A and B are shown apart, each in its own frame.
Chain A
Amino acid sequence: GENVEQHPSTLSVQEGDSAVIKCTYSDSASNYFPWYKQELGKRPQLIIDIRSNVGEKKDQRIAVTLNKTAKHFSLHITETQPEDSAVYFCAARPKGGYQKVTFGTGTKLQVIP
């Protein structure tokens, strides 16, 4: 089955700096890579996703890049703000298989004002 590794497990940045979270996956058949944000005490929510036929996708201060050859993908947050503080999960879904998603272990991001 799919295995997703996520690094770092914790990340502290100064407000206004950039943050990068990296994930690798094992199944070359995976073709969909969502990122979820979970604020303290709340449910995970999708913030951005990317398909395997796309190398990069941006949404305001958030961007995701995908390298299919190396089987890794990354989340980039620019101009970080205190409200970006949360746990971020990457995930990968193989083609077919009833849309089963495998999550990474999460990154706790702290933005220091």
Chain B
Amino acid sequence: DVKVTQSSRYLVKRTGEKVFLECVQDMDHENMFWYRQDPGLGLRLIYFSYDVKMKEKGDIPEGYSVSREKKERFSLILESASTNQTSMYLCASSLPGTNTEAFFGQGTRLTVV
């Protein structure tokens, strides 16, 4: 059974802080993704990674960076948190291939005050 675990369920940070969101998967998946979920906007891709140390920008990468030093771990970094980054953040992983299921983590509700 695939398990994708995000380090925090709820997080409150101050404007200007550097924020790290961590995601770990235990199924040896090559692909990992970070999405943010906002009401009425669905799931929007921030960054994804298809291999260790590899990353690709998604649709809304501004204000974010990522790190993937190990295959099982994918970190999302908010360099200087702002109130418009208050959101639900979802990590996902999948095997490579054209038709593979994405397995999601439980989400991190980040509030920037």
6 CB < 8 A contacts A-B: A6-B42, A43-B107, A44-B43, A44-B104, A89-B42, A99-B31
Please tell me the size bucket of the interface on A: 20 to 34
In the bound complex, residues from chain A placing their C-beta under 8 Å from that of B101 are 34, 46, 49
- How far does the alpha carbon of A98 sit from the alpha carbon of B102 in the complex, in Å? 13
Within 8 A of B (CB), among A64-109: 89, 93, 95-96, 98-106
| Chain B residues within 8 Å of A, Cβ to Cβ | 4, 31, 33, 35, 40-45, 48, 50, 56, 58-59, 90, 94, 96-102, 104-107
Whether A44 contacts B31 by the Cβ 8 Å rule is no
How many pairs, one residue from A and one from B, have CB atoms within 8 Å of each other in the complex?
60
Whether A45 contacts B104 in the complex (CB less than 8 A), given A93-B98, A99-B98, comes out as yes
Within 8 A of B (CB), among A14-32: 31-32
| Chain A residues within 8 Å of B, Cβ to Cβ | 1, 6, 9, 31-32, 34, 42-46, 49, 51, 89, 93, 95-96, 98-106
- How far does the alpha carbon of A45 sit from the alpha carbon of B101 in the complex, in Å? 9
In the bound complex, residues from chain B placing their C-beta under 8 Å from that of A6 are 42
- How far does the alpha carbon of A9 sit from the alpha carbon of B102 in the complex, in Å? 23
In the bound complex, residues from chain B placing their C-beta under 8 Å from that of A95 are 98
- How far does the alpha carbon of A9 sit from the alpha carbon of B41 in the complex, in Å? 10
* Whole-angstrom distance between the Cβ of A73 and the nearest chain B Cβ: 14
- How far does the alpha carbon of A14 sit from the alpha carbon of B107 in the complex, in Å? 31
Q: Which of B33, B96, B102 has the most CB of A within 10 A?
A: B102
